């Protein structure tokens, strides 16, 4: 104790040296701790954002040119002109398969499948007032339906709603040269409710009219996407003669009606979208669609093709479905050209004139229920989800759909996507490789939720922290070595005297070590606190400066699902500021403890080394050296 | 008088990385309590080395050095220096950051004497060497060379040993202080029964000694009683 007391007394009596050592050590330890803490924080943030964010690319075949298209409008009895995009040959998504692309999932050109409605309810569907019907009707007089002509309804072959009319007005609105209709003849036609194109002239007296929509035709494609040849007549209006339904054209109209009944018209569609990764569906990627119950489809589900599905909250409500319930899916045909929300475009009949039959039928377990938030999804309505849309893993469809492709089309942003690793480097690498493929008229748009910017900021911060850390370590080493030299090596004379007075090597070591230990302990502790404080301030500033539009990141859904209403109120309208919430700003105090501890141990190690050098000699030699 | 230290054929070689230097060659002599011994010789004659061996700062390369019959090689030399033999140096070798009082108390604290007891005894020793109380709280750098040497003597006797070794104790002092220190050393030998061994080439100091050993080239060349 006496030796330690004297050592401390000496320390107190050299206040400048002691204070200088303390301050310099504190400063360098603070640098090391701040650097270490920030480095770890940046690493943690990068890892966190790596988990939160994801980068997807959507693929769209672009037009080769545009051309003017003239569309006839019966109400103005003239053409209106539109610029129409003209696309070249449909480009296969196979062009996306190239060396080094590094896909995490996809690329996929998703199909949505029409499933038999069975007895499922869709009562809260949107657009339910739209009327579509296949009818037999006769004009009241010979006419050309270039404007509203009065028709008598003879027979309803199919209708979404009972028409409850005997007479109606027909106008082949967009046909600049409609065929004449004769009062003594009956015609079959598929009509949709149109608009009173004389509304501006007659107001409430205007003639509410129907217009022909389509006829029996086919857009069926083979597995390669090539349109199959067909000999369907495709007439929109056909004369019903005696024995008409025994004729080829009549049979086509009967199949047409049969198909209408099967699918319950477009409004009773029950779309099932098959995907390899829900994140490739923009509504899920952007978190406009989010899970309300159960779980999302897992990697294992995609890989194993598990018979699990995700259903919409609207569909679940209509049918009282809960997570874990079974959903029977009977898939009839695939549409590769549109998203389920856009839908349609496909002919109602097979190329051979038949009706599409179920090719895949099985029970799926409802794994999760999703809902759709308010807001828009970048890209337009094609990216929105259909109200009753069901999602299943692509691999869960065991039978080939090659004979049931009702429509194949070009890649669109809402049908074709892939996922690659996060980071600007990854995106740039992909772009470079893609450029090298030399594929024209395909546009790839990347979405990373601001990760690249975030990553850049974090990497800058990490570089700064490494500089801090390195500077701190180098300074700490220099200062510790210098002060150990001052406090120990330069104290050879004192050690020699102590040894001459009978102090043992151990006592001398304790005497020398005590002072260094006290300063090192205080310096490390003070530096540790200062470093932690500095790192915390820097991290808070970093988070304050870096705000990102994270609408396209997982951050938002976590934010939405985990935050209270008050916290939600802090969210700015455009979605920015969410990253700030996702930012880890709490520096890990353990890192500071470790850095400060290492600085302390290093100091003690250097001190022990110096002490060993001092004490290894006999007092005589030590004294001689000290006197020299 | 009984012998307290006896050297028999003591040789010592300084060995550095690059060379070996024989500092002592077969030195044989003995020392008794109650006497003042002077070891004289030119610089480099080996007298300081011999004194250091007597102080237990190292052991002879050859020969034996015994303290009351116990071989220096086998004994705890740290304890020997702490409790039995104290050294006074020409350069005083006081702790510059400790006060006069603390310097004197230092060996007693190593011997686990209580602080209070050590302070009382330190005061006695300082009075004994004739240092005024006004200097007790001063640091060595603030007092004169003669006063520092008196502090060094007080510290040496504070350990309560029986052998007092002094290496040119008056080398840095004026004649007046030199006389005081020599008288003090003689008094410690003759009145307090210390074996006082002084290395010096000062004739006056040598003249005050009871026995004078002359050294030359590491050997004992003459003895005068």
What value of ipTM does the predicted structure carry? 0.88
Closest CA to B27 of B9, B54, B40: B9
Tens digit of pLDDT for each residue in B62-75? 999 999 989 999 99
Instruction: Give the pLDDT confidence score for residue B130 in this predicted structure.
Output: 85
Q: Does A14 contact chain B (CB < 8 Å)?
A: yes
Which pair of structure tokens corresponds to residue A197? Answer: 């194109």
Sign of CA dihedral A335, A338, A341, A345: negative
Instruction: Give the pLDDT confidence score for residue A187 in this predicted structure.
Output: 95
Instruction: Indicate the pTM of the whole model.
Output: 0.64
Instruction: Give the pLDDT confidence score for residue A563 in this predicted structure.
Output: 41
Q: Do B97 and A497 count as a contact with CB atoms less than 8 A apart?
A: no
Instruction: Identify the band that residue A129 occupies on the pLDDT scale cut at 50, 70 and 90.
Output: low
Q: At what angle do helices A424-437 and A451-487 cross, to 10 degrees?
A: 130
What 3 state SS string does A163-230 have?
Answer: CCCCEEEECCCCCCCCCCECCCCCEEEEEEECCCCCHHHHHHHCCCEEEEEECCCCCCECCCCCECCC
Q: Does A174 contact chain B (CB < 8 Å)?
A: no
Q: Measured between beta carbons, which residues in chain A are less than 8 angstroms from residue B112? A: 2
Q: Can you tell me which residue has the tokens 């004289």?
A: B40
Residue from B14, B19, B110, B199 whose CB has the most chain A CBs within 10 Å, to mutate: B110
Tens digit of pLDDT for each residue in A276-329? 999 899 888 888 888 999 999 999 999 999 999 999 998 898 889 999 999 999
Q: Does B142 contact chain A (CB < 8 Å)?
A: no
Closest CA to A332 of A230, A285, A262, A393: A262
Using the predicted structure, report yes or no on whether residue B15 has a pLDDT greater than 70.
yes
Instruction: Give the pLDDT confidence score for residue A583 in this predicted structure.
Output: 66
Instruction: Give the pLDDT confidence score for residue A241 in this predicted structure.
Output: 92
**Residues B179 and B108: beta-carbon distance below 8 Å:** no
Q: Measured between beta carbons, which residues in chain B are less than 8 angstroms from residue A6? A: 95, 98, 102, 106, 109
Instruction: Identify the band that residue A106 occupies on the pLDDT scale cut at 50, 70 and 90.
Output: confident
CA angle A86, A89, A92 (to 5 degrees): 125
Q: Measured between beta carbons, which residues in chain B are less than 8 angstroms from residue A501? A: 81-82, 86, 106-107, 110, 155, 159
Residues 6 or more apart whose CB falls under 8 angstroms from that of A552 comprise A285, A286, A378, A447, A448, A449, A450
Using the predicted structure, report yes or no on whether residue A9 has a pLDDT greater than 80.
yes
Tens digit of pLDDT for each residue in A57-94? 999 999 999 999 999 988 888 999 999 889 988 899 99
Residue in A2, A493, A618 closest to B57 by CB: A618
Residue in B81, B97, B112 closest to A501 by CB: B81
Q: Does B79 contact chain A (CB < 8 Å)?
A: yes
CA angle A366, A368, A371 (to 5 degrees): 125
- Highest mean predicted confidence (pLDDT) among A189-198, A262-271, A398-407: A398-407
Using the predicted structure, report yes or no on whether residue A570 has a pLDDT greater than 50.
no
Q: Measured between beta carbons, which residues in chain B are less than 8 angstroms from residue A627? A: 91
What average pLDDT does chain A have? 83
Closest CA to A520 of A489, A476, A473: A476
Instruction: Identify the band that residue A565 occupies on the pLDDT scale cut at 50, 70 and 90.
Output: very low
Q: Do B52 and A503 count as a contact with CB atoms less than 8 A apart?
A: no
Which pair of structure tokens corresponds to residue B23? Answer: 């500092």
What average pLDDT does chain B have? 89
Tens digit of pLDDT for each residue in B26-40? 999 999 999 999 999
């Amino acid at each position: 104790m006496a030796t330690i007391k004297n050592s401390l007394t000496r320390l107190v009596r050299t206040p400048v040296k002691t204070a200088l050592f303390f301050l310099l050590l504190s400063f360098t330890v603070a640098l090391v701790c701040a650097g270490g803490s920030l480095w770890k924080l940046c690493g943690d943030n990068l890892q966190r954002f790596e988990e939160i964010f994801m980068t997807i690319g959507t693929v769209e075949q672009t037009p080769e040119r545009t051309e003017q298209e003239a569309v006839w409008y019966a109400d103005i009895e003239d053409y209106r002109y539109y610029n129409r995009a003209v696309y070249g040959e449909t480009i296969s998504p196979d062009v996306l398969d190239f060396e080094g692309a590094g896909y995490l999932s996809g690329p996929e050109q998703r199909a949505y499948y029409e499933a038999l409605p069975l007895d499922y309810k869709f009562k809260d569907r949107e657009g339910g007032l739209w009327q579509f019907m296949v009818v037999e009707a006769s004009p009241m007089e010979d006419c050309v339906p270039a404007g509203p002509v009065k028709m008598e309804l003879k027979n309803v072959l199919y209708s979404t709603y009972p028409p409850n009319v005997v007479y109606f007005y027909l106008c082949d609105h967009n046909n600049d040269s409609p065929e004449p209709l004769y009062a003594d003849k009956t015609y079959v036609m598929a009509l949709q409710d149109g608009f009173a194109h004389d509304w501006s002239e007659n107001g409430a007296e205007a003639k509410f009219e129907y217009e022909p929509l389509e006829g029996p035709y086919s857009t069926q494609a083979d597995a390669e996407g090539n349109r199959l040849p067909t000999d369907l007549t495709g007439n929109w209006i056909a004369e019903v003669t005696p024995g008409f339904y025994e004729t080829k054209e009549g049979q086509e109209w009967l199949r047409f009606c049969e198909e209408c009944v099967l699918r319950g018209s477009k409004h009773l569609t029950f779309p099932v979208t098959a995907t390899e990764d829900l994140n490739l569906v923009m509504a899920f990627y952007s978190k406009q669609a989010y899970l309300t119950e159960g779980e999302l489809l897992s990697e294992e589900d995609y890989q194993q093709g598990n018979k699990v599905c995700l259903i919409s909250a609207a569909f679940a409500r209509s049918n009282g479905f809960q997570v874990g319930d079974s959903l029977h899916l009977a898939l009839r045909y695939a549409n590769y050209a549109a998203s389920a929300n856009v839908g349609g475009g496909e002919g109602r009949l097979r190329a051979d004139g038949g009706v599409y039959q179920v090719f895949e039928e099985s029970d799926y377990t409802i794994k999760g229920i999703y809902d759709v938030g308010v807001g828009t999804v970048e890209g337009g309505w094609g990216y929105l989800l259909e109200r009753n849309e069901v999602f299943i893993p692509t691999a869960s469809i065991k039978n080939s759909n090659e004979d049931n492709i009702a429509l194949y089309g070009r890649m669109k942003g809402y049908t074709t996507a892939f996922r690659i690793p996060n980071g600007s480097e990854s995106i740039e690498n992909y772009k470079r490789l893609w450029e090298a493929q030399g594929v024209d008229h395909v546009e790839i748009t990347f979405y990373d939720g601001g990760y690249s910017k975030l990553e850049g900021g974090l990497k800058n911060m990490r570089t700064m922290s490494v500089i801090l850390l390195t500077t701190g370590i180098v300074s700490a080493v220099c200062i510790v070595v210098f002060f150990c030299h001052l406090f120990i090596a330069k104290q050879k004379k004192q050690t020699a005297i102590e040894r001459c007075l009978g102090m043992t090597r151990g006592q001398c070591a304790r005497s020398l070590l005590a002072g260094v230990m006290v300063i090192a302990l205080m310096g490390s502790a003070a530096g540790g606190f200062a470093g932690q404080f500095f790192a915390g301030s820097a991290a808070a500033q970093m988070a304050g400066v870096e705000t990102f539009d994270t609408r396209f990141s997982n951050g938002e859904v976590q934010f939405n699902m985990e935050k209270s209403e008050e916290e939600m109120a802090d969210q700015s309208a455009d979605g920015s500021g969410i990253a700030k919430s996702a930012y880890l700003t709490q520096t890990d105090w353990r890192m500071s403890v470790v850095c400060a501890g290492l600085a302390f141990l290093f100091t003690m190690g250097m001190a022990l080394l110096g002490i060993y050098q001092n004490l290894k000699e006999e007092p005589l030699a030590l004294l001689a050296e000290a006197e020299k | 008088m009984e012998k307290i230290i006896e050297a028999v054929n003591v040789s010592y070689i300084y060995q550095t990385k690059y060379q070996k230097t024989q500092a002592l060659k077969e030195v044989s002599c003995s020392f008794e309590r109650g006497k003042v011994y002077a070891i004289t010789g030119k610089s480099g004659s080996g007298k300081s080395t011999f004194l250091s061996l007597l102080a237990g700062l190292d052991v002879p390369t050859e020969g034996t050095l015994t303290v009351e019959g116990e071989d220096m090689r086998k004994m705890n030399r740290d304890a020997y220096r702490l409790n039995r033999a104290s050294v006074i140096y020409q350069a005083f070798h006081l702790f510059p950051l400790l006060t006069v009082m603390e310097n004197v108390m230092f060996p007693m604290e190593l011997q686990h004497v209580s602080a209070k007891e050590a302070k009382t005894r330190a005061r006695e020793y300082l009075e004994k060497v004739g240092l005024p109380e006004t200097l007790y709280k001063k640091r060595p750098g603030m007092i004169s060379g003669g006063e520092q040497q008196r502090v060094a003597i007080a510290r040496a006797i504070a350990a309560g040993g029986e052998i007092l070794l002094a290496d040119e104790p008056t080398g840095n002092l004026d004649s007046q202080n030199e006389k005081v220190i020599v008288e003090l050393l003689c008094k410690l030998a003759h009145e307090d029964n210390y074996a006082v061994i002084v290395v010096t080439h000062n004739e006056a100091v040598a003249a005050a000694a009871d026995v004078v050993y002359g050294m030359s080239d590491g050997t004992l060349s003459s003895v005068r009683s």
